[in-house]
Amino acid sequence: MKHLNDAMNEILKSISDAIRQIDPREIEDFVVELLRAREEGRRVLVVGAGRSGLIGRAFAMRLMHLGFNVYVMGETISPSVVDGDICMVISGSGSTTIPTAVAEIAKKLGVKVLAVTSNPNSPLGKTADLTVVVPGRSNVAMEEEYHSRQLLGEHESLTPMGTLFENSCMVFLDGLIVELMDRLKVSEDEMKRRHAAIE
């Protein structure tokens, strides 16, 4: 079990180091934009591919618990987004094909693009109106063309750098929910009332 324990400790240390590097000003801009969207009833569309997409779904569920009008890209019930809505895109590399294309289309529609990425100079970073940089990738090319590789059956591992972004992103977004709870004065009991009663 030595390798397991060493790995877990290293992962925890890496997440802690990454979280400390996130710019509080970037977080504040995100918080303000999300609060404004909730107050005005605007839609929030969460976008991500692969593991980033799973993290996005978890975050979207918590936003729903907080009373946001939130949807996840790819779900059959997701409505169209319009001028003034928010498109929140999660991508470590900022170059993954589908999330990047969605961000560009959203921008053309007048939708505000919020990005969570390790690479602010990526296509996603350059498209986004607001960006939170979550450290975690030193070799961006490893995640490029994710969907193309999957279709070709090329499943090379993105560990450890992809994993660091995703783990750090999960911690950051869970922390963001707590900050939103505090500012909205929403209790956990109130959130539970919005949770699915049938699962």
Q: In CATH, what number is assigned to the domain containing residue 142?
A: 3.40.50.10490
In a domain, 191, yes or no: no
Residue 20: its pLDDT value, please?
95
In a domain, 128, yes or no: yes
Sheet holding 112-117, edge to edge: 69-72, 43-48, 86-90, 112-117, 130-133
Contact 165, 143 (CB under 8 A): no
Residue 8: its pLDDT value, please?
83
Q: Tell me the two tokens of residue 135.
A: 């450290």
Domain of residue 67: give its range: 36-186
Least confident of 67-81, 97-111, 119-133, 143-157: 143-157
pLDDT digits (tens, 9 = 90+) for 4-45: 888 788 888 889 999 999 999 999 999 999 999 999 999 999
In a domain, 18, yes or no: no
Residue 141: its pLDDT value, please?
44
d(CA 69, CA 60): 9
In a domain, 199, yes or no: no
d(CA 26, CA 166): 18
In a domain, 139, yes or no: yes
In a domain, 57, yes or no: yes
CA-closest candidate to residue 137, choices 39, 35, 52, 71:
52
Q: What is the pLDDT of the chain when averaged over all its residues?
A: 87
d(CA 195, CA 167): 24
State the total domains in the chain. 1
43 forms bridges with which residues in the sheet? 69
Q: What are the backbone dihedrals phi and psi of residue 4, each rounded to the nearest 5 degrees, phi first?
A: -60, -50
pLDDT digits (tens, 9 = 90+) for 90-135: 999 999 999 999 999 999 999 999 999 999 999 999 999 999 999 9
The pTM is what? Answer: 0.85
CA-closest candidate to residue 81, choices 55, 47, 43, 114:
43
In a domain, 195, yes or no: no
Residue found under tokens 């240390």: 13
Residue 115 burial class via C-beta count within 10 angstroms: exposed 0-12, middle 13-18, buried 19 and up = buried
Instruction: List residues with catalytic annotation.
Output: 166
d(CA 45, CA 87): 5
Residue 105: its pLDDT value, please?
95
Answer with the residue of higher pLDDT: 198 or 103: 103
Instruction: Please give the DSSP secondary-structure letter assigned to residue 15.
Output: H
In a domain, 21, yes or no: no
Instruction: Please give the DSSP secondary-structure letter assigned to residue 115.
Output: E
In sequence order, what are the residues at sequence separation of 6 or more whose Cβ sits closer than 8 angstroms to the Cβ of residue 101?
none
